[in-house]
């Protein structure tokens, strides 16, 4: 699997995953022009896409959907709640779009790529994370969630790679100029994973196969790359667990981050 995180953060999210048989985009929260330019693609015909996976209907995850589907009429996989949310946001060019409603744990086959959606916890209508598997490789994608259900760990554990939210440093969030209501929302079970949450979840999920974790959706105001990395290393040191052989990657808002399995 080749993974290109085109954008990650509160100003837009899009991740392109290419396997031997499929090319899928998770979210399209940046413009179509940005999707092409961040891959150095000049002609739209040079951009191949088999499917669009939507996590939820917030603008930073879907704002480019009209133009994307206008140029690449691919099948869109999403929950019924997310579809309802998109409809309510008046994306009026999508009447003929090929939407496929998915339910938790129902497997989606995109050529040889198997995608499994699972419910997450966010202040959106039925948001989803995704497991992607092909040729024995497994990637788990989960951002925009206030917590991870421990009952799901047996299905999510021991992936080769995780793209995992590490949104905020708790102290920076509390000391920020954001309103109390916004701080409460972010910190709640319907908000976002903190650096500490992310590190503890990753500690429980990683296994012998796990080689990489991408820390995603970092807040520009209430986090930093240094804080996120330091928290991961501090928590793993406290738990006396060695992560020296793991590759920890930081997803960025304005620059493409590439990696592969």
Digitized pLDDT (tens) for each residue of the chain, 261 residues in all: 999 999 999 999 999 999 999 999 999 999 999 999 999 999 999 999 999 999 999 999 999 999 999 899 999 999 999 999 887 665 655 767 899 999 999 999 999 999 999 999 999 999 999 999 999 999 999 999 999 999 999 999 999 999 999 999 999 999 999 999 999 999 999 999 999 999 999 999 999 999 999 999 999 999 999 999 999 999 999 999 988 889 999 999 999 999 999
Residue 51, CA atoms < 13 Å, CB-side half-sphere: 24
Distances (CA, A) of 175 to 170, 193, 199: 9, 17, 21
Please say whether the beta carbons of 129 and 118 come within 8 A.
yes
Could you tell me the two tokens for 91? Answer: 């994306």
Give the torsion sign (CA, 133, 139, 144, 150). Answer: positive
Measured CA to CA, the distance from residue 111 to residue 197 in angstroms comes to: 35
């Amino acid at each position: 699997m080749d993974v290109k995180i085109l954008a990650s953060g509160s100003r837009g999210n899009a991740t392109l995953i290419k396997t031997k048989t499929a090319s899928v985009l998770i979210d399209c929260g940046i413009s179509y022009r940005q999707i092409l330019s961040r891959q150095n693609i000049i002609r739209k015909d040079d951009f191949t896409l088999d499917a669009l996976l939507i996590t939820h209907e917030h603008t930073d995850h879907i704002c480019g959907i009209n133009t994307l589907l206008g140029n690449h009429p691919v099948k869109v996989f999403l929950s019924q709640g997310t579809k309802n949310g998109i409809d309510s946001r008046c994306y009026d060019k999508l009447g003929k779009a090929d939407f496929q409603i998915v339910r938790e744990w129902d497997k989606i086959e995109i050529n040889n790529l198997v995608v499994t959606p699972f419910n997450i916890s966010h202040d959106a209508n039925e948001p989803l994370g995704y497991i992607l598997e092909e040729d024995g490789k497994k990637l788990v994608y989960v951002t925009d969630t206030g917590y991870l259900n421990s009952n799901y760990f047996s299905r999510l554990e021991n992936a080769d790679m995780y793209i995992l939210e590490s949104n905020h440093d708790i102290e920076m969030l509390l000391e920020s100029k954001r309103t109390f209501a916004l701080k409460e929302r972010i910190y709640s079970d319907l908000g976002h994973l903190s650096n500490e949450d992310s590190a503890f979840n990753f500690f429980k999920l990683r296994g012998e196969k796990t080689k990489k974790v991408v820390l995603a959706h970092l807040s520009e105001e209430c986090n930093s790359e240094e804080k996120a990395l330091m928290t991961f290393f501090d928590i793993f040191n406290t738990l006396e667990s060695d992560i020296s052989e793991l590759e920890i990657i930081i997803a960025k808002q304005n620059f493409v981050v590439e990696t592969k399995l």
